[in-house]
């Protein structure tokens, strides 16, 4: 469905999301099956998915895991946007290592929070350059922007494309005592960085003596 000739982190994320959905569907169908053994085994599909997801999520900060558990998908989206470039994963080594798979799992869980229009992802590998028609061999390749734009409503929940917020990431040399000025504009400490949810806010300077080491702004 997604195509055979192209791969990258985004394609792998959709594949993981599809696998999650199929496992949940199998669990639901087998639960009401009249075939001996199927009903007893049904919940194992769901347990398998949950186990794999839990292992993957252990790679992330506690705040991110809590956001997933509490279904605070906007917080997860902001975290994923901070790491969106890492979902490119344009080599087998990067896409298949532990960190790469964990990021795919987090994005897939976020995608699965609402129904995914799979019919719009048919032959997704046609979005690559060169296309499979031009070069019919398997390769890791980035998706073209024209395709990402047409899928914006699907990709926005995992932090890819335009958002209604700016994202500001500030990295510190050590975890600060969070001052009131950070809380006032919606910053939250997350594994060595903070992110801002409000558009067009100035980054506050601390009154407690610590300074920003790096500042990145994504628009």
Report the share of the chain in percent with pLDDT over 70: 72
CA 42 from centre of chain: 28
> How far apart are the C-alpha atoms of 70 and 76, rounded to whole Å?
10
Reported in sequence order, the residue ranges of the chain that DSSP labels E, i.e. its strands, are: 6-7, 139-140, 167-171, 189-190, 193-195, 214-218
Q: pLDDT band at residue 165, thresholds of 50, 70 and 90?
A: very low
Check residues 173 and 149 and name the one with the higher pLDDT: 149
* Mean predicted lDDT score pLDDT of the chain: 78
pLDDT in tens, 84-135: 888 889 999 999 999 999 999 999 999 999 899 999 988 888 888 888 888 9
> Which residue in this structure is represented by tokens 């007893």?
40
Angle between helices 98-111 and 38-57 (to 10 degrees): 120
Q: How confident is the model at residue 138 (pLDDT cuts 50, 70, 90)?
A: very high
Residue 151 in tokens: 């899928």
């Amino acid at each position: 469905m997604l195509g055979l000739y192209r791969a990258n982190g985004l394609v792998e994320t959709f594949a993981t999301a599809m696998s999650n959905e199929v496992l949940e569907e199998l669990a639901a169908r087998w639960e009401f099956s009249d075939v001996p053994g199927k009903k007893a085994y049904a919940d194992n599909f769901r347990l398998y998915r949950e186990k794999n997801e839990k292992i993957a999520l252990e790679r992330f900060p506690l705040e991110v895991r809590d956001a997933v558990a509490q279904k605070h998908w906007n917080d997860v989206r902001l975290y994923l946007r901070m790491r969106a470039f890492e979902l490119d994963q344009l080599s087998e080594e990067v896409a298949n290592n532990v960190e790469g798979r964990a990021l795919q799992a987090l994005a897939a869980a976020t995608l699965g929070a609402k129904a995914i229009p799979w019919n719009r992802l048919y032959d997704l590998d046609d979005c690559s350059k060169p296309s499979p028609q031009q070069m019919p061999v398997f390769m890791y390749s980035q998706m073209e922007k024209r395709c990402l734009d047409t899928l914006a409503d699907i990709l926005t929940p995992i932090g890819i494309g335009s958002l209604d917020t700016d994202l500001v990431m500030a990295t510190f040399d050590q975890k600060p005592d969070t001052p009131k000025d950070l809380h006032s504009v919606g910053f939250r400490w997350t594994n060595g960085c903070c992110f801002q949810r409000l558009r067009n806010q100035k980054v506050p300077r601390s009154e407690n003596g610590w300074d920003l080491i790096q500042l990145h702004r994504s628009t």
